[in-house]
């Protein structure tokens, strides 16, 4: 996989297909392969005539790992994504992020509006404003020696996922503990490009997709039926809805 140096961070990415570029930003504890290649997103978008770029966020996949919480945060990772756009010499791109990647995508759209043509927020609704709970049980679970000693159900699920993906658990714990810069309603309202908020109807993490969409002047909601936070990402309704959105909003 190609990579490039952004300051102290080596960022790994994939770049496939030809056509209008779309940048994919994965969620916490995932990576470009798990979030986008394995569920079929890259193939789907390439077959739709698009150039697909998927990044490994710092601390994840094949990108540089840090064990210091100060080395993380969505605004910082949004700047990594911006540097990738610059590195590839792209004028502007469509952007799709899932969960943490949706938060990163929001900062990218707010801080570099001239580079984002359309944005898709997957797996995150009004939780983008309120936050999605206490990070400490997940961070502690990632640091615990044995998974069977983890009492918190959500923490245990993220720990199992981190093991499944072969992740650096200490880097993920640092990322989870990083200062989470809140996004205000007023800031989200500045996102004026066409936006799609796609959330599973059984997702109890994301928050209301409609409440988030209502903040933006040109946003719509895609409900992903009967899917929770973890499995909605590969759903065929999600894929079809994104293709329709991209092909309808020029």
Mean pLDDT for the stretch of residues 105-131: 96
Percent of the chain at pLDDT above 70? 99
C-beta of residue 41 within 8 angstroms of C-beta of residue 239:
yes
For residues 99 and 206, give the distance between their C-alpha atoms in angstroms, rounded to a whole number.
Answer: 8
Q: How many CA atoms lie within 13 A of 31 on its CB side?
A: 24
Q: pLDDT digit string (tens) for 143-200?
A: 999 999 999 988 999 999 999 889 999 999 999 999 667 899 999 999 999 999 999 9
Res. 250: pLDDT tops 80? no
C-beta of residue 178 within 8 angstroms of C-beta of residue 139:
no
Mean pLDDT for the stretch of residues 205-222: 97
Mean pLDDT estimate for the chain: 95
3-130+184-248: CATH superfamily = Alpha/Beta hydrolase fold, catalytic domain (3.40.50.1820)
Task: Tell me the whole-structure pTM to 2 decimals.
Answer: 0.96
For residues 241 and 237, give the distance between their C-alpha atoms in angstroms, rounded to a whole number.
Answer: 6
Return the pLDDT at 1. Answer: 85
- Of the candidates 167, 209, 166, 205, which has an alpha carbon nearest to the alpha carbon of residue 188? 209
Return the pLDDT at 179. Answer: 66
Return the pLDDT at 113. Answer: 96
**pLDDT tier for residue 249 given thresholds of 50, 70 and 90:** confident
Mean pLDDT for the stretch of residues 200-216: 97
* Strand, coil or helix: 123: coil
What does the chain come to in residues? Answer: 250
Res. 88: pLDDT tops 80? yes
Return the pLDDT at 119. Answer: 98
C-beta of residue 79 within 8 angstroms of C-beta of residue 71:
no
- Rg (the chain; Cα; Å): 17
Res. 109: pLDDT tops 70? yes
Q: pLDDT digit string (tens) for 22-34?
A: 999 999 999 999 9
**pLDDT tier for residue 132 given thresholds of 50, 70 and 90:** confident
Res. 60: pLDDT tops 70? yes
Res. 55: pLDDT tops 90? yes
User: Residue 95: what are its φ and ψ, rounded to 5°?
Assistant: -130, 135
Mean pLDDT for the stretch of residues 229-249: 95
Return the pLDDT at 134. Answer: 85
Domain boundaries, the chain: 3-130+184-248
**Structure tokens given for 130:** 């309120």
More confident residue, 238 or 135: 238
Res. 111: pLDDT tops 70? yes
């Amino acid at each position: 996989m190609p990579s490039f140096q952004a300051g102290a961070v080596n960022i790994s990415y994939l770049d496939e297909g030809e056509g209008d570029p779309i940048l994919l930003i994965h969620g916490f504890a995932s990576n470009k392969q798990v979030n986008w290649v394995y569920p079929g997103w890259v193939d789907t978008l390439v077959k739709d005539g698009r150039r697909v770029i998927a990044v490994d966020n710092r601390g994840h996949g094949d990108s540089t790992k840090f064990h210091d919480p100060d080395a993380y945060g969505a605004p910082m990772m949004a700047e990594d994504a911006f540097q990738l756009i610059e590195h590839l010499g792209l004028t502007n791109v469509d952007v799709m992020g899932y969960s943490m990647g949706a938060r990163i995508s929001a900062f990218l759209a707010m801080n570099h509006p001239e580079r984002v043509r359309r944005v898709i927020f997957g797996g995150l609704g009004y939780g983008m404003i309120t936050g999605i709970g206490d990070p400490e049980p997940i961070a502690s679970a990632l640091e615990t020696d044995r998974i069977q000693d983890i009492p918190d159900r959500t923490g245990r699920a993220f720990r199992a996922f981190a093991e499944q993906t072969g992740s650096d658990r200490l880097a993920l714990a640092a990322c989870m503990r990083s200062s989470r810069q809140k996004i205000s309603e007023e800031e989200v309202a500045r996102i004026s490009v066409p936006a799609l908020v796609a959330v599973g109807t059984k997702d109890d993490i994301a928050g209301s997709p409609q409440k988030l969409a209502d903040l933006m002047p040109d946003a719509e909601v895609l409900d992903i039926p009967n899917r929770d936070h973890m499995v909605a990402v590969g759903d065929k309704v999600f894929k079809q809805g994104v293709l329709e959105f991209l092909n309808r909003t020029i």
